[in-house]
Amino acid sequence: MAPPEPGPHPATARGPRDRCSTGIEALDNILEGGIPRGSTVLVAGSVGTGKTTLSLEFLLHGAERGERSLFLSVTEPAAKLVENMRSFEFFREELLGTGMLTLVDIPVVYERLGLDHEEMRPDEIRIFLATLDAFLTESRARRVVLDSLTSLAYRIQREERIRDFMLRLSEILTAHGCTTLLVSEIGPQPGRYSLRGVEEAIVDGVLLLGNARRHGDILRVLQVIKMRGTPHSRAQYVVEMTPIGLLLAPHFQGESGPEE
Amino acid sequence: MVTESDLGERLRRMPPGSAVALRLDPARYADHYLLAINATVRDVGIETNARSIYVSVTNPSALVWSIAQTLDVPPERLRIVDAISHIMMDYRNPLPNATYLESPRMLENIMLRVEYLLRKEPGQRHIVVIDSVNSLAIHNPTKLLNEFLHILLNNLKARQVLTVLLAVRDDSSPAIDQLLALVVDETIDLGEGVAPP
Ligand SMILES: Nc1ncnc2c1ncn2[C@@H]1O[C@H](COP(=O)(O)OP(=O)(O)O)[C@@H](O)[C@H]1O
Ligand SMILES: [Mg+2]
């Protein structure tokens, strides 16, 4: 195997405390211990590729370790996410009651703020972000998931406004020291990791989930596209969803010889 | 022919993490198959207090399960990773001790199901049985199979798991023997010592 290529930033002497373990052992190994703390990472993939499942595992693992975790759900009701989480063996009901893990229905937030326009105006975007900022202060969240950025950005239609929104959002998350996964819903075509293309340029990392074909069979795959401050493999891994979490194996190609 | 106790003895003497190919004679397939299951899944399993993870690519798990019951394999000692029932459309009554894969071409998923079962029981000794290399070769190109076996057996070696690969002798195609020679520690010919008919 070729040695991993150096990342965009020279690797500094980092301890495990600077890394946010995802709970997915093989992914942590690829990322030299985890996601650099304070990073904002896009989790991109088409429907059914495991974005929500991966994000839930990330949060549960954090909550289990005593890091306050926050799930901002735009598309699925919180109650349904709790149902999904129960399929993990390491899920414990107490995590919800003690405030270690909080799930927020964003549509409810919209309603409270009176943000009922189909398209959010700049002042409404400001209100939304200020509310998020206040909520992060109050909840003291160390880990955040937004599922999905796509459905949120759908209400901000102009590209320059999306860019501003993204910059402001990552500023807020960084100021609070949150390690964040932003879920990005994309079509099955390769080459792009977000709907508008501006999101992926602003974030610190991109994890891509997808499907690979082998004859008639479809394999779930995961790839680290980018992760600032981390020299990492860009290889594709096959994903298996299990009650003990996501497991990864190298995606066998059966083409190149052992000398490669 | 190798006897059950010979075979059991040889498997028990293997260092932890070994990979052993058992070569079955196609003319005496049923005898050799039963011999292999008796010696590994039942006898070595009981004597070394190991549980077996049986990767079935040849027969649906329902059949493997009923054979194991006939042979008095303790049910709690057998888990089946069934990679064939789906494509044989034989998937009506899933067994609680089996896990089903959509196809025998999903080699990474076979590996991950085995890993899952191993991780579920940390501290428990395990034997992994692959039935069979020939069946895997029917569904997968040789290079892919080579990569799979190489990585699977390395992982199992690191976990000190004994792996038993069933291979039916096929003199017309040397590919499987060549493949096995690269990945296993030892090959035991179950028809050994008997003149061919
Ligand atoms: N433990 C599991 N075993 C098998 N399949 C699972 C498991 N957990 C979730 N799934 C399936 O994986 C699929 C993808 O889930 P999800 O994470 O919601 O994808 P996405 O958020 O990318 O749309 C769903 O169809 C779900 O049924
Ligand atoms: Mg989802």
pLDDT above 50: residue A13: no
CB contact under 8 A, A217 and B102: yes
Task: Give residue-wise pLDDT tens across range B94-139.
Answer: 999 999 999 999 999 999 999 999 999 999 999 999 999 999 999 9
Q: Report if residue B119 sits inside a domain.
A: yes
pLDDT for residue A97: 87
Q: Report if residue B196 sits inside a domain.
A: no
Give the whole-number percent of chain A exceeding pLDDT 90. Answer: 71
Angle between helices A51-64 and A78-85 (to 10 degrees): 70
- What lies within 8 Å, CB to CB, of A53 at 6+ separation is A84, A241, A246
pLDDT above 50: residue A6: no
Report the CATH number at residue B118: 3.40.50.300
- The pair of structure tokens assigned to A57 is 């595992």
What number is the average pLDDT over the span A78-83? Answer: 95
Best residue in B87, B108, B146 for a mutation probing chain A (most A CBs within 10 Å): B108
Pocket test for ligand 1, best of A43, A53, A85 (most atoms within 8 A of CB): A53
Q: Report if residue B197 sits inside a domain.
A: no
State chain B's maximal CA–CA distance in angstroms.
Answer: 46
> CA–CA separation, B32 vs B197, rounded Å?
15
Chain B residue whose CA is closest to A237: B108
What number is the average pLDDT over the span A235-257? Answer: 90
Q: Which domains, from first to last, does chain A contain?
A: 17-208 (3.40.50.300)
- Specify the pTM: 0.91
Q: Report if residue B59 sits inside a domain.
A: yes
CB contact under 8 A, B143 and A255: yes
pLDDT above 90: residue B90: no
| A15 pLDDT tier (thresholds 50, 70, 90) | low
pLDDT above 70: residue B194: no
pLDDT for residue A64: 95
pLDDT for residue A111: 87
pLDDT above 50: residue A242: yes
CB atoms within 10 A of CB A129: 16
- What lies within 8 Å, CB to CB, of A21 at 6+ separation is A28, A33, A34, A61, A65
| B196 pLDDT tier (thresholds 50, 70, 90) | very low
pLDDT for residue A14: 53
Q: What angle do CA B166, B146, A209 make, to 5 degrees?
A: 115
- Domain interval for residue B120: 4-163+174-190
Predicted complex ipTM: 0.92
Identify which ligand lies nearest to the alpha carbon of A247. Answer: 1
- What lies within 8 Å, CB to CB, of A83 at 6+ separation is none
C-alpha A88 chain-centroid distance: 18
| A140 pLDDT tier (thresholds 50, 70, 90) | very high
Q: Are A62 and A69 in contact (CB under 8 A)?
A: yes
> CA–CA separation, A79 vs B106, rounded Å?
33
Task: Give residue-wise pLDDT tens across range A81-138.
Answer: 999 999 999 999 999 989 899 999 998 888 888 887 788 889 999 999 999 999 999 9
| A197 pLDDT tier (thresholds 50, 70, 90) | confident
Q: Report if residue B115 sits inside a domain.
A: yes
Task: Give residue-wise pLDDT tens across range B6-37.
Answer: 999 999 999 999 999 999 999 999 999 999 99
R_g over Cα of chain B: 15
pLDDT for residue A195: 75
Chain B residue whose CA is closest to A254: B144
Q: Are B17 and B50 in contact (CB under 8 A)?
A: no
Query: Residues of B numbered 76-135 whose beta carbons fall under 8 angstroms of chain A's beta carbons: which are they?
Result: 102-103, 105-109, 111-113, 115-116, 119-120
If you measure from the C-alpha of residue A53 to the centroid of ligand 1, how many angstroms do you get, rounded to a whole number? 6
Task: Give residue-wise pLDDT tens across range B61-88.
Answer: 999 999 999 999 999 999 999 999 999 8
| Chain B residues closer than 8 Å to A255 by CB | 143
User: Whose alpha carbon is nearest atom 18 of ligand 1?
Assistant: A52
Q: Which residues of B32-52 are buried (b: 16+ CB within 10 A; e: fewer)?
A: bbebbbbbbbbbbbeeeebbb
- The pair of structure tokens assigned to A210 is 């997808």
Q: Report if residue B47 sits inside a domain.
A: yes
Give the whole-number percent of chain A exceeding pLDDT 70. Answer: 91
pLDDT for residue A113: 87
What number is the average pLDDT over the span A51-56? Answer: 98
Q: Report if residue B195 sits inside a domain.
A: no
| B193 pLDDT tier (thresholds 50, 70, 90) | low
CB contact under 8 A, B143 and A254: yes
Task: Tally the domains of chain B.
Answer: 1
Identify which ligand lies nearest to the alpha carbon of A74. Answer: 2
DSSP structure class, residue B42: I
pLDDT for residue A154: 87
What number is the average pLDDT over the span A192-215? Answer: 88
- Determine which helix (DSSP H) or strand (DSSP E) holds B53, and give its type and residue range: strand B50-56
Q: Report if residue B169 sits inside a domain.
A: no
CA distance B87 to chain A (A): 11
pLDDT for residue A3: 41
